Amino acid sequence: MHADSSPVLDRPHSKPAALRWRNRYAALGPAFHTRLPAQALPQPHWVATSDSAAALLGWPADWADRPDWHALEVLSGGPPWEDSEPLATVYSGHQFGVWAGQLGDGRALLLGEIDTPNGPMELQIKGGGRTPYSRMGDGRAVLRSSIREFLCSEAMHHLGIPTTRALAIVGSALPVRRETMETAAVVTRVAPSFVRFGHFEHFAHHGLPTELRALADFVIEHHYPACRDATNPYAALLEAVARRTAVLMADWQAVGFCHGVMNTDNLSILGLTIDYGPFGFLDGFDPGHVCNHSDHQGRYAYARQPGVALWNLHALAQAMLPLIAMGGEVTEATGDLALEAIEPYKAVFAGTLEARLRGKLGLATARDDDRQLADDWLALMAAERADYTITWRRLARHSPADPGAVRDLFLDRPAFDAWAERYARRLAAEGSIDAERGERMNRVNPKFVLRNHLCENAIRAAQAGDFGETRHLLKVLERPYDEQPEHSACAEFPPDWAQTLEVSCSS
Ligand code: AMP
Ligand code: MG
């Protein structure tokens, strides 16, 4: 379908009174997207909905079941709401370090943008059929990967980590071929913007300077208004993106999250975690952990993520050179300006990670050698493949007088004791009170993260028609820092079979 062709949409559903549409991305014009309708899933049913995401939108609690909303039909790719202008956006990107050319929303459709009490939010369905950017893909998403994306989006949000949100999953019996036959689902995602680094790369690499500039101006106006007043707004935008990306990387590293596919088309211009595929939370701590079984080189290993984000920022900077030149020729000085703009990434990442680690250690004050103390703790954990989440959580209950359960996690007791003695001295130096420290630590060291095996259990049940585990897990993950003793089973060590779980790009 050509970008200009008028989409032939099914009769739209009357718009729920609560929804006021803006559709500012649609207004950018046909160089940025293709308008087209979704292809509805047959006989859709709800798998799960997120009350918390609905609250973000300011929607009524019963939105999913209100007959006048037709939400199940709309969010399964049926006729859209009146005034929604479904479209697929075009982007390009570097995949695994190599220029991949044009990509785009191959199975995602932006339904549009609505006003919410929390500002304008875009609604996007993923798995709603083929688009002009589908390449070899079928435009569908399977239930398995949709549950993973849905649960992890919401889990990350409740961990306090910037992310796109997930409002709902709809399932269907429609068969979809992956390694095996599976069934289709659609996830509805919510974010202020789904613009990726790859959107900028697209217009830069395809020699479309006017569109590149329109995109940058759009992002500045709606998402980074403070950059407008800078001497060079585009360098300011690049720097602002670098800073947000740095904070996001510190958050990922601190919580032990591995994204798995940090291609430039999977990095958000807003510094949000986006595109949950073969992600994983660390179990036993291995800095070299590779969660994506398709990533044979380990390019996106846990410890490499901060460096990869910087690599991606260089790709973004490259794409933005014509903008940073401010209408003039791109010269060496332009390159210097671009490099200068992303330079703060390193210090912001290091500073934020240090602050996160200090918080995880329960330190209320800052000292120069805190980073060393944290690094030695991480090295100790790595040496024994100590469970990343459980070890940090147990440290909250560690007291110098009674080393307790965290010490039991280490075979090399002398090494643990030597570190614990330094930790005790450091705590004493700030007059730390164990009970207060423990409470502080429990607010930053989660008890519950979405480990692969938890997700897998929910997926297997859902594939057999039981969505109870998915919904239950969502509730538990909405309070990751609370004890929730009744759900302690979700905070246990991974079972042996979790080691053999393979998560790939196939979704
Ligand atoms: P990902 O690696 O999931 O971020 O996807 C990379 C590109 O492939 C994006 O342009 C996606 O829209 C597209 N894509 C992935 N899976 C499918 C699919 N099943 N159908 C169509 N396009 C897809
Ligand atoms: Mg992607």
Alpha helices in 278-327, H assignment, sequence order: 305-324
Question: What does the pLDDT read at residue 434?
Answer: 95
Q: Are the CB atoms for 283 and 451 separated by under 8 Å? A: yes
Four-point Cα dihedral 43, 46, 47, 53, nearest 10: 140
Per-residue pLDDT at 451 exceeds 70: yes
* DSSP conformation letters of 121-163: EEEEEESS---TT-TT--S-EEHHHHHHHHHHHHHHHHHT--B
Which residues neighbour 505 within 8 Å (Cβ) at sequence distance 6 or greater? 261, 277, 278, 292, 294
Backbone torsions φ then ψ of 314, nearest 5 degrees: -65, -40
Beta strands in 204-287 (DSSP E): 257-258, 280-281
Query: How sure is the predictor about 504, in pLDDT bands with cuts at 50, 70 and 90?
Result: confident
Where do the domains of the chain lie? 3-194, 198-352, 365-442
Per-residue pLDDT at 6 exceeds 80: no
pLDDT, tens only, 8-38: 456 788 888 779 999 999 999 999 999 999 9
* 3-class DSSP string for 325-388: CCCCCCCHHHHHHHHHHHCHHHHHHHHHHHHHHHHHCCCCCCCCCHHHHHHHHHHHHHHCCCEH
Q: What's the mean pLDDT in 138-144?
A: 98
The Cα 460–Cα 437 span in angstroms is 39
Residue 256 region by backbone torsions, left for phi larger than 0, else alpha for psi between -120 and 50, else beta: left
pLDDT, tens only, 377-429: 999 999 999 999 999 999 999 987 887 789 999 999 999 999 999 999 999 99
Question: What does the pLDDT read at residue 306?
Answer: 98
Question: What does the pLDDT read at residue 4?
Answer: 40
Q: Are the CB atoms for 273 and 158 separated by under 8 Å? A: no
108 CA closest ligand 1 atom index: 12
Cα atoms found within 13 Å of the Cα of residue 214, Cβ hemisphere only: 15
Bridge partners (DSSP) of residue 95 are 98
pLDDT, tens only, 208-238: 999 999 999 999 999 999 999 999 999 999 9
Take residue 300 and report the two structure tokens written for it.
Answer: 């996106």
Per-residue pLDDT at 250 exceeds 90: yes
Four-point Cα dihedral 65, 70, 72, 77, nearest 10: -170
Nearest CA to ligand 1 atom 8: 106
Per-residue pLDDT at 74 exceeds 70: yes
Which residues neighbour 60 within 8 Å (Cβ) at sequence distance 6 or greater? 18, 66
Q: What's the mean pLDDT in 250-262?
A: 98
Per-residue pLDDT at 62 exceeds 80: yes
Tell me how far apart the terminal alpha carbons of the chain are, to the nearest angstrom. Answer: 25
Report the percent of the chain where pLDDT is more than 70: 98
Q: Active site includes 265?
A: yes
- Using CA atoms, how far residue 318 sits from 202, 325, 330, 463, 474, in Å, is 12, 11, 10, 44, 40
126 CA from centroid of ligand 1 (Å): 10
The Cα 168–Cα 188 span in angstroms is 5
45 CA from centroid of ligand 2 (Å): 25
Nearest CA to ligand 1 atom 18: 137
Per-residue pLDDT at 59 exceeds 70: yes
User: Of the residues 89, 133, 176, 504, which should be mutated to test ligand 1's pocket, given the most ligand atoms within 8 Å of the CB?
Assistant: 133
Which of these is catalytic: 4, 65, 83, 265?
265
503 vs 336, higher pLDDT: 336
The Cα 278–Cα 348 span in angstroms is 27
What angle is formed at CA 177 by the lines to CA 175 and CA 181, rounded to 5 degrees? 65
- Does 107 sit in the ligand 1 pocket, CB within 6 Å? yes
Q: Report how many helices (DSSP H) and strands (DSSP E) the chain contains, helices first.
A: 16, 12
Which residues neighbour 342 within 8 Å (Cβ) at sequence distance 6 or greater? 238, 239, 242, 310, 313, 314, 317
- Does 139 sit in the ligand 1 pocket, CB within 6 Å? yes
User: Of the residues 92, 107, 261, 268, which should be mutated to test ligand 1's pocket, given the most ligand atoms within 8 Å of the CB?
Assistant: 107
443 CA from centroid of ligand 1 (Å): 36
Question: What does the pLDDT read at residue 10?
Answer: 63
261 CA closest ligand 1 atom index: 2
- Does 261 sit in the ligand 1 pocket, CB within 6 Å? yes
Which residues neighbour 498 within 8 Å (Cβ) at sequence distance 6 or greater? 283, 451, 452, 453, 456
265 CA from centroid of ligand 2 (Å): 6
Indicate which ligand has the atom closest to the C-alpha of 104.
1
Question: What does the pLDDT read at residue 9?
Answer: 52
Nearest CA to ligand 1 atom 11: 106
199 CA from centroid of ligand 2 (Å): 12
- Using CA atoms, how far residue 224 sits from 174, 219, 267, 270, 502, in Å, is 41, 7, 17, 9, 39
User: Of the residues 265, 268, 294, 312, which should be mutated to test ligand 1's pocket, given the most ligand atoms within 8 Å of the CB?
Assistant: 265
pLDDT, tens only, 75-96: 999 999 999 999 999 999 999 9
Q: What's the mean pLDDT in 162-190?
A: 98
Per-residue pLDDT at 184 exceeds 50: yes
Q: What's the mean pLDDT in 104-116?
A: 97
